[in-house]
Structure 1
Amino acid sequence: MKIAVQVRLLPSPEERAALEYTLHTCNEAANWLSQQAHAKSERDRTRKALQGFAYTLLKDRGLSAQPALHVLRKVADAYTVLKGNLKAGNLGKPGSERRRRAESKPVVFRPDAAQPYDDRCLSWQYAAQTVSIWTMAGRLRGVRFVCSEQARKTLQSHRKGETDLVHRDGMWFLIATCEVSEGKQIDPAGFIGVDLGIVNIATTSDGKIYVGRELNRHRRCQLRLRAKLQRKGTKSAKRVLKRQRRKESRRAAHINHVISKSIVTEAERTEHGIGMEDLAGIRERARLRKPQRVTLHSWAFAQLGQFIAYKARRAGVPVLFVDPAYTSRICAECGHTDKANRVSQAWFACRSCGVVAHADRNASRNIRARAWKLWRRGAESHAPAPVRGAGRGRTITASGGRTASPALRAE
């Protein structure tokens, strides 16, 4: 399976200027090629077709051979993603204004959009923790990078494939793809059901509750702070807004890593599989009042599911995603289904057998039962559909194995 490992570069001012100029030049070339590709038919937007007419022109713009090929692939992949989104209806129905806007203009790349590198353009010196990297100003040698010892060992042992150069919030990063082996899948003695929520981020069928009070409080504070700074509108307020960006998402990702590691470790220890709800499309299905929409759209349930899935694959723990319908209304003891069973967010009281339980715990037991039933029918362990990988927005999936899983940052 493939995971992504991120390291931070520490370039000197001269190296920083060369890297910035390189990104701007590559993305300027990508925008030029995108305009050319937009004017062509869909079959003329493939990698092979674009290379046939634009490779020499890109080299004339100052790009070397490999960077020119990566620009070609980046543009071709962007139009492939656009075509997939249009086909799936993610950009509106046919004839809608949103879809018309998406189809009427070429794909645009930011000046600082990530640029992929391969081993011909980038080499690693792990012991010295430096890299040698191609730029428009020539080869930069001895550019320092920093990372954890675990990340360095993973890079040295498993790095394979492309690496993305990323400029974010004034900092420089390399995000490398690593091919790691999956653990030998266990034959589970049972399943741990995991119910996902907003008040309680995750509740397991063995009684463990990961409350979301701290994270939700942090999100409300950040929301009030952003609103206050946006109303103020001064230069200093904008500087603070820029400094605060992505702070909330980083905190949520850290909490999701901690929760997913705890759940997978417990499943590995007890030789159990993990059953989770398949919540794909919940944001489109849910109908909420305006004050509740921010809470729903801040809910990082998909990320938590992906973290659990890839950590479980490394540990050899099977993961099944089950139909979430009525899991909060079914009594885990007698199977009676009634909307009135869910008394409140926290409490469940069966109208048939009289059992009183924690609502999320009851739902997690229903998820556990569905996962075990699926497994006994012969269902295979699987991960959610691949998501956009780090860097330039491409999708990275695992090669081999039972199913594909997204490349995720190792932690």
Structure 2
Amino acid sequence: MKLTLQTQLFPDKIHAAPLKATVERFNEAAEWLAGEAFAIKVSNKTELQKTHYALLRERFGLSAQMAVRCIAQVCEAYKRDKTKRPHFRKHAAMPFDPRMMSFKEADRVSLLTLEGRVVVPFVMGKYQAERFTNAKGQADLVLRKDGKWYLLVTVDVAVGAPIPTTDFLGIDLGIANIATDSDGNEHSGRPVERTRRKHNLQRKRLGKRNTRGAKKKLKRVAGKEARFRKHQNHVISKTLVEVAKGTGRGLAVEDLSGIRDRLPAWGKDARNRLSTWSFGQLVAFLSYKATLAGVPLVQVDPRNTSRTCHECGHCCRENRTSQAKFLCVSCGHRANADQNAARNIRAQATRKMALELAGVNSQPESPAL
């Protein structure tokens, strides 16, 4: 399994200048080539290389391998959506392969620039260091808005043997509680919400002051909320995977495809909370951590999981009396709404697994109305 490890680079001023110039020139070339590829409707690397390789080298001064990577980058972006012309930001991530990059011992990396190779020191955490021996020699060079440099390195890691199981830990995702499992454990969204409100107020205050100092501070605080949210998602996903593995179960989560389009139109503050909630990130973290641990992960249809009684199966809107409370109008069952939904998700995954073991090709189903 491939993972991406983040390492921070510490180039001095002499080396930072050619690195920055190279990233900017590469993305300038990619932006131009994206327009060319879209105009002639070509997304095949071989075809585009035949017609534009020499032009890239002559027009933008890219090295041979930089031109090859530029073509590959553009084709990959274009293939994702052929109805739209791809665009590349001035400081978008620049890909490096083994011909453009090599590691020197455990704390330095040699990177190809327009002015030749530069050797730059880097640091990494314990988690990255333990897996760094399997580096593939492929990486993305990133220049953040705050001026810090990072190298996102691709590594190969072994995955755990799949756990044989027919039971699951159901997980309901939300905003008030980021995750609630079918065992009744809750991972509160309050710390994330406090951080969101704090940074939102800070952005409003700084936005009103059109000064150089305010703009600098805006740059410094930019990304803090996202990094905090990412850390929380890492902690929550790690905990859930450990619980599932420790009890010999798989993980069952909601299929969140198109969830933003399915939700109602709320007020401005609620929309802001929704737009900054990392729906897919937590599921992505759960997915790769579960794969590494050998824990099966199943996605189920989330429709009506919050309205269906886990005890009797009755489904109606009136069952959900509030954000936190569930009261079945049919059997009188009372429960925490998120916990009830998590148990429905678990039940769906269990049924889905049973059908697969029986050789029945099932489609995702929602609780019966």
Cα-to-partner distance string for 1:129-157 (whole Å, 9 max, x where unaligned): 1011111111113x10000122023121x
Q: 1:118 corresponds to which residue?
A: 97
1:174 alignment partner AA: L
- Please give the alpha-carbon distance, in whole angstroms, between the structure 2 residues aligned to 1:37 and 1:192: 47
SS of the counterpart of 1:326? coil
Please tell me whether the aligned partners of residues 166 and 354 of structure 2 are also in contact (alpha carbons under 8 angstroms): no
Report the CA distance shift for 1:366/1:26 in structure 2 as closer, same or farther (over 3 A).
Answer: same
Please tell me whether the aligned partners of residues 189 and 271 of structure 1 are also in contact (alpha carbons under 8 angstroms): no
Report the CA distance shift for 1:269/1:126 in structure 2 as closer, same or farther (over 3 A).
Answer: farther
Q: 1:67-146 counterparts in 2 under 5 A?
A: 67-83=66-82, 86=83, 102=84, 106-127=85-106, 129-141=107-119, 143-146=120-123
Q: 1:28 corresponds to which residue?
A: 28
Unaligned runs of 5+ in 2: 360-369
What TM-score, normalized to structure 1? 0.83
SS of the counterpart of 1:378? helix
1:224 alignment partner AA: L
- Please give the alpha-carbon distance, in whole angstroms, between the structure 2 residues aligned to 1:262 and 1:217: 22
SS of the counterpart of 1:377? helix
SS of the counterpart of 1:335? coil
Question: Cα distance, 1:78 vs. partner?
Answer: 2.0
Question: Cα distance, 1:287 vs. partner?
Answer: 2.2
2:345 alignment partner AA: I
- Please give the alpha-carbon distance, in whole angstroms, between the structure 2 residues aligned to 1:32 and 1:207: 54
Question: Cα distance, 1:113 vs. partner?
Answer: 1.6
User: Given the alignment of the two structures, is residue 212 of structure 1 paired with residue 189 of structure 2, yes or no?
Assistant: yes
1:258 alignment partner AA: V
- Please give the alpha-carbon distance, in whole angstroms, between the structure 1 residues aligned to 2:298 and 2:168: 9
Q: 1:51 corresponds to which residue?
A: 49
Q: Give the aligned CA root-mean-square deviation in angstroms.
A: 1.6
- Alignment counterpart, residue 155 of structure 1, candidates 132, 147, 160: 132
Q: 1:164 corresponds to which residue?
A: 140
Q: 2:279 corresponds to which residue?
A: 301
- Please give the alpha-carbon distance, in whole angstroms, between the structure 1 residues aligned to 2:198 and 2:28: 39
* Regions of 4+ moved over 6 Å: none
Please tell me whether the aligned partners of residues 126 and 152 of structure 1 are also in contact (alpha carbons under 8 angstroms): no
2:138 alignment partner AA: E
1:23 alignment partner AA: V
Cα-to-partner distance string for 1:195-236 (whole Å, 9 max, x where unaligned): 111001100011110111121121112112111211222222
Question: Cα distance, 1:125 vs. partner?
Answer: 2.5
- Please give the alpha-carbon distance, in whole angstroms, between the structure 1 residues aligned to 2:247 and 2:102: 42
- Alignment counterpart, residue 248 of structure 1, candidates 206, 209, 225: 225
- Alignment counterpart, residue 258 of structure 1, candidates 235, 241, 246: 235
Please tell me whether the aligned partners of residues 167 and 173 of structure 1 are also in contact (alpha carbons under 8 angstroms): yes
1:76 alignment partner AA: C
- Please give the alpha-carbon distance, in whole angstroms, between the structure 2 residues aligned to 1:328 and 1:126: 54
Please tell me whether the aligned partners of residues 23 and 91 of structure 2 are also in contact (alpha carbons under 8 angstroms): yes
Please tell me whether the aligned partners of residues 166 and 172 of structure 1 are also in contact (alpha carbons under 8 angstroms): yes
Report the CA distance shift for 1:375/1:189 in structure 2 as closer, same or farther (over 3 A).
Answer: closer
Please tell me whether the aligned partners of residues 166 and 353 of structure 2 are also in contact (alpha carbons under 8 angstroms): no
User: Given the alignment of the two structures, is residue 290 of structure 1 paired with residue 273 of structure 2, yes or no?
Assistant: no
SS of the counterpart of 2:54? helix
- Please give the alpha-carbon distance, in whole angstroms, between the structure 2 residues aligned to 1:218 and 1:150: 26
**Percent identical across equivalent pairs?**
44
- Please give the alpha-carbon distance, in whole angstroms, between the structure 2 residues aligned to 1:323 and 1:58: 47
User: Given the alignment of the two structures, is residue 272 of structure 1 paired with residue 270 of structure 2, yes or no?
Assistant: no
Deviates more, 1:240-249 or 1:222-231: 222-231
- Please give the alpha-carbon distance, in whole angstroms, between the structure 2 residues aligned to 1:298 and 1:210: 17
1:159 alignment partner AA: A
- Please give the alpha-carbon distance, in whole angstroms, between the structure 2 residues aligned to 1:107 and 1:266: 42
Q: 1:357 corresponds to which residue?
A: 335
2:31 alignment partner AA: N
- Please give the alpha-carbon distance, in whole angstroms, between the structure 1 residues aligned to 2:32 and 2:307: 55
Question: Cα distance, 1:124 vs. partner?
Answer: 0.9
Question: Cα distance, 1:57 vs. partner?
Answer: 2.2
User: Given the alignment of the two structures, is residue 9 of structure 1 paired with residue 2 of structure 2, yes or no?
Assistant: no
- Please give the alpha-carbon distance, in whole angstroms, between the structure 2 residues aligned to 1:29 and 1:184: 44
Question: Cα distance, 1:360 vs. partner?
Answer: 0.7
- Alignment counterpart, residue 312 of structure 1, candidates 287, 290, 303: 290
User: Given the alignment of the two structures, is residue 18 of structure 1 paired with residue 1 of structure 2, yes or no?
Assistant: no
Report the CA distance shift for 1:338/1:22 in structure 2 as closer, same or farther (over 3 A).
Answer: same
SS of the counterpart of 1:256? helix
Question: Cα distance, 1:189 vs. partner?
Answer: 4.7
SS of the counterpart of 1:325? coil
Q: 2:65 corresponds to which residue?
A: 66
2:297 alignment partner AA: V
Question: Cα distance, 1:122 vs. partner?
Answer: 0.5
Q: Which has the higher contact order (CA 8 A, sep 6+)?
A: 1
Cα-to-partner distance string for 1:25-71 (whole Å, 9 max, x where unaligned): 2122223323332331x2x3421111102112222242221111001
SS of the counterpart of 1:108? coil
Unaligned runs of 5+ in 1: 87-101, 381-411
Question: Cα distance, 1:254 vs. partner?
Answer: 0.4
